[in-house]
Amino acid sequence: NFILTQPHSVSGSPGKTITISCTRSSGSIASHFVQWYQQRPGSSPTMVIYEDSQRPSGVPDRFSGSIDGASNSASLIISGLKTEDEADYYCQSYDRTIAVFGGGTTVTVL
Amino acid sequence: QVQLVESGGGVVQAGGSLRLSCAASGFTFSRHGMHWVRQAPGKGLEWVAFIRYDGGNEYYADSVKGRFTISRDTSKNALYLQMNSLRPEDTAVYYCSKDGPVRAAGPYNFDLWGQGTLVTVSS
């Protein structure tokens, strides 16, 4: 099994760009797609990025995703930060028989 | 309307059992794998179990293997989680979630979530 490690918290001012990292402990980050989920306080999670960099319909293009083989990590980039982006964000990947979530990152808009 | 609605949560003593249900609507249930995911109070998301679109395979997190059983009834568009030998550390909100791809062989992603049902295990 593998672990996905995220920073505990990230903050930024309105209008700025922030990046949340997600590092895979073993196995290549490119071997299985990475997804990202947003969970606002008191709500269920919703998908904001799937298959490393694809946006579900309805998700603003301020959200983007990428992977980096050199650091074995994925990134969620939020540009033009808004107060409504304050939430917990989770990366997720899988193997043949398991799904794994990162520990979550709390985004604070200053 | 595309949605998942969980039910069956409640308070149970350690060692007891509980069965969760999830009613699916608005999509072709028989074409998609389904998951249970849980979230302990103030903690992150933990994948619990997956069942293939046709019920042919089930996969579990090590923390629940041998105690929990996932199942589905396509005729009722329903997903279930039978939880036995419950422990205080099983206390969490349990979410039902739909796997994205059609007819995927194993767990992949979570593109639709229910509102969750709270399970509390007292010691």
pLDDT digits (tens, 9 = 90+) for A82-92: 999 999 999 99
- pLDDT confidence of residue A24: 97
- pLDDT confidence of residue A88: 98
- Chain B touched by A102 (CB under 8 Å): yes
With 90 as the cut, is the pLDDT of residue A22 above it?
Answer: yes
Q: What is the mean pLDDT of residues B53-73?
A: 97
Select from A46, A100, A102 the Cβ nearest to the Cβ of B113: A46
The tokens describing A36, both together, are 């990202």
- pLDDT confidence of residue A56: 95
- pLDDT confidence of residue A16: 97
What backbone torsions phi and psi does residue B60 show, to the nearest 5 degrees? -135, 150
Nearest CA in chain B to A42: B115
- pLDDT confidence of residue B107: 87
Through-space distance between the first and last CA atoms of chain A, rounded to whole angstroms: 37
- pLDDT confidence of residue B50: 97
Note whether A93 and A35 are within 8 A (CB): yes
Indicate yes or no: CB of B109 within 8 angstroms of CB of A33: yes
Q: What is the mean pLDDT of residues A58-81?
A: 97
Which of A6, A97, A100 to mutate to test binding with chain B, by most B CBs within 10 Å of its CB? A97
- Chain A touched by B111 (CB under 8 Å): yes
Indicate yes or no: CB of A45 within 8 angstroms of CB of B59: no
- pLDDT confidence of residue B101: 86
- Chain B touched by A37 (CB under 8 Å): yes
DSSP string for B13-69: ETT--EEEEEEEESS-GGGEEEEEEEE-TTS-EEEEEEE-TTS--EEE-TTTTTTEE
Q: What is the mean pLDDT of residues A63-78?
A: 97
Select from B46, B110, B115 the Cβ nearest to the Cβ of A47: B110
With 90 as the cut, is the pLDDT of residue B19 above it?
Answer: yes
Q: Contacts of residue A98 in chain B, CB cutoff 8 Å? A: 47, 59, 61, 107
- pLDDT confidence of residue B89: 98
- pLDDT confidence of residue B103: 83
Å from A39 to nearest chain B CA?
A: 10
- Chain B touched by A94 (CB under 8 Å): yes
Note whether A5 and A101 are within 8 A (CB): no
- pLDDT confidence of residue A2: 96
- Residue with token string 């490393």: A52
